[in-house]
Chains A and B, each alone.
Chain A
């Protein structure tokens, strides 16, 4: 079992550019959540995808968008990059379970630097 994988590992962009980050969930998982972890802070929830739709969203602007594919993999897109978007972006996968909590398994993250 490969676990949650993310690509690329590192990325450098300039202000105003657009970026796409990718995530493959753990085998058997159908739900993907994205988190932003700025330097020295805890991860902040961006949004969650289930059945190819955004199910819940955190307090992030519309510049942050996502997509989930039929194979449950997911992309995070960020438009019009700002310096403040520099962070570690974490993907977490889980198996949807309406009866309680969904334990989330995290990938290694993508380190985005905006210059």
Chain B
């Protein structure tokens, strides 16, 4: 069965600092991987997705993620945090176009 582990339920960074949110997956075959962001009292917005093309994926709002098969990881990064990045971030895995399996989420706090 597929699963996703997000390391760190809460991450705090200073404005302008590097953002690194960690995600590891377990899957017997290369999966499709996604990062979603959720702002308070809102639904999920897709940040970026990996679909077995380029291993470095660029998304919206300056975020990017690198697929590393050897480490079964898909960590999310952003070079410089902005106050508006404060939200909850979910990593998710999908196979065969069906259901998404989500991690528990990481709440990102950005300090001024």
Binding site for B on A (CB under 8 A): 4, 33, 35, 40-45, 48, 55-56, 58, 90, 92, 94, 96-98, 100-109, 111
- Structural contact, B97 and A106, CB atoms closer than 8 A: no
Closest to B6 in A: A42
- Structural contact, B94 and A101, CB atoms closer than 8 A: yes
Among B42, B45, B100, B101: residue with most chain A CB under 10 A: B100
Task: Describe A's contact surface by its main secondary structure.
Answer: loop
Give the chain A neighbours of B43 by CB distance below 8 A.
4, 90, 106-109
- Structural contact, A48 and B98, CB atoms closer than 8 A: yes
- Structural contact, A104 and B105, CB atoms closer than 8 A: no
Give the chain A neighbours of B56 by CB distance below 8 A.
none
Beyond A90-B44, A106-B45, whether A56 also contacts B105 by CB under 8 A is: no
- Structural contact, B105 and A42, CB atoms closer than 8 A: yes
Among A45, A48, A101: residue with most chain B CB under 10 A: A101
Chain B's nearest CB lies how many Å from the CB of A105? 7
- Structural contact, B44 and A41, CB atoms closer than 8 A: no
- Structural contact, B97 and A102, CB atoms closer than 8 A: yes
From A43, A56, A96, A111, B44 is in contact (CB under 8 Å) with A43
From A33, A35, A41, A101, B51 is in contact (CB under 8 Å) with A101
Chain A's nearest CB lies how many Å from the CB of B48? 11
Give the chain B neighbours of A42 by CB distance below 8 A.
4, 90, 92, 102-105
Give the chain B neighbours of A35 by CB distance below 8 A.
100
Give the chain B neighbours of A90 by CB distance below 8 A.
43-44
CA distance A71 to B84 in the complex (A): 37
